[in-house]
Amino acid sequence: MTVTYSRRVADARLGTFSHLLLRWKGSIYKLLYRELFIFTVLYYAISILYRFLLDDGQRRLFEKLAIYCDQYAQLIPVSFVLGFYVTLVVSRWWGQFESVPWPDRLAALVGGHVRGADEGARLIRRSLVRYANLSGVLIYRSISTAVYKRFPTMEHLVQAGLMTVEELRQLEELPSPHNKFWVPCMWFVSLALRARTEGRINNDVALTAILNELSTLRSQCMKLYSYDWISLPLVYTQVVTVAVYSFFLACLIGRQFLDPTQGYPGHDLDFYLPVFTLLQFFFYVGWLKVAEQLINPFGEDDDDFETNWLVDRNLQVSLLSVDDMYDLVPVVERDKYWNESEPQPPYTAASAEHRKPSYMGSALDIRQVLHSNTGSYYISLRWMLSVFVKESHKKYADTFYFFDVCGKI
């Protein structure tokens, strides 16, 4: 569902961002075309009413109403309330993304510290990371409609292999009315302590590192739960929505083109298409639509988080880390630059232009005047530094003399 266009904007060239305007999926056109169509239809319906269905007296009354609406609609602080609202929504959206649990570090610690190649050790490692993933899935199932549709019942989690029948029985028998996403974390702790008692975890430092990482993952799950529980204040959302739509309701009348013969200020010309009013509607309502889409990124909109992909990826990577890759190390051999003090990977012809010398500092290119018995010379600090590096193998007296010359300069 996430719309990615990073490759398209890797280089800022002519037309780079213009091409993005032609995309449909995740675009503002897809979000806004219905509202824009309704607004345009209502605008022309009122315009036809004013031009063809009202008599002269009624037109004069309508014109006074239009001028009144246009004048006082500007008092609605649309930009102000929208700016604060969208800023708050975007910061909240990014905070939710940063709270997404990734079990990679935990899987690396489990694979590195839970030792043993026998079936018992393998079972412990796989069960530990499965418990961590199960905790995340229970959270996603609680807050994401996409994941809930995939696992509508707890039996679907058993069928998917994320938990066993016995684990489901224990989970359902717990007398707790609250969300039980934390239960697999407690199973993780108990199993890790058992592994330490059996000597499969070598020391308490390793056990502490594993449990600390589990605590971090559980905190991220709790943050997602809290974000879903505590929404933005409803009154703020209502104020912004009412401000935007009431402004454009007033514009339906106030932005009508009035009879030029009446001499109203600003109505010298009669156009049939309100170009700038439609642009204003596109920007303001589009701005509101951005906030509406980002306020809960765990739905099924084009730009919502790929929660089902996260479930698949995290389970696959974590199980691979602790099982197939356990004690798997390539043959250790000398690298290509074994005898070189300054390794330099080669450049292709396409990337040769990106090869740059090392940055030494902006002040090293300053040119100074060096006075001597034979005359005055221009010398740069960069050149003096290169001389110092080349002559550093000489006696200390030469080095002290160099510093003395630098001081005189």
CA dist 159 and 115 (Å) reads 30
- Cα separation, 258 vs 53, in Å, equals 14
**SS3 helix, strand, coil % of the chain, rounded to 5?**
65, 5, 35
Q: What is the per-residue pLDDT for 387?
A: 55
Instruction: Please determine, for residue 271, whether its predicted confidence score (pLDDT) is greater than 70.
Output: yes
**Six-digit token string for 50:** 């004013």
Three-state SS annotation for 367-407: EEEEEECCEEEEEEHHHHHHHHHHCCCCCHHHHHHHHHHHH
Instruction: Select from 239, 268, 252, 272 the least CA-distant residue to 84.
Output: 239
pLDDT of residue 108: 96
Structure tokens that stand for 246 in this block? 């009431």
Instruction: Read off the pLDDT band of 34 (50, 70, 90).
Output: very high
pLDDT at 400 over 50: no
- pLDDT at res. 398: 45
List, for residues 129-186, the tens digit of each pLDDT value. 999 999 999 999 999 999 999 999 999 999 999 999 999 999 999 998 999 999 999 9
Task: Check residue 405 and give its pLDDT.
Answer: 42
Q: Which positions ≥6 away from 355 have C-beta within 8 Å? A: 347
Q: If we measure between CA atoms, which residue out of 49, 68, 32 comes closest to residue 244?
A: 32
Listed by start position, the domains of the chain span 24-98+233-294, 104-229, 362-408
Q: How far is CA 27 from each of CA 83, 197, 283, 286, 296, rounded to the nearest angstrom?
A: 20, 56, 13, 10, 17
Q: Is 233 left (phi over 0), alpha (psi -120 to 50) or beta?
A: beta
Q: Between 305 and 369, where is the model more confident? A: 305
Separation between Cα atoms, residue 192 and residue 109, nearest integer Å: 12
- Alpha-carbon Rg of the chain, whole angstroms? 34
CA atoms within 13 A on the CB side of 229: 9
Q: Could you tell me the pTM of the whole model?
A: 0.82
Question: Do 318 and 104 touch, CB atoms closer than 8 A?
Answer: yes
**Secondary structure letter of residue 102 according to DSSP:** -
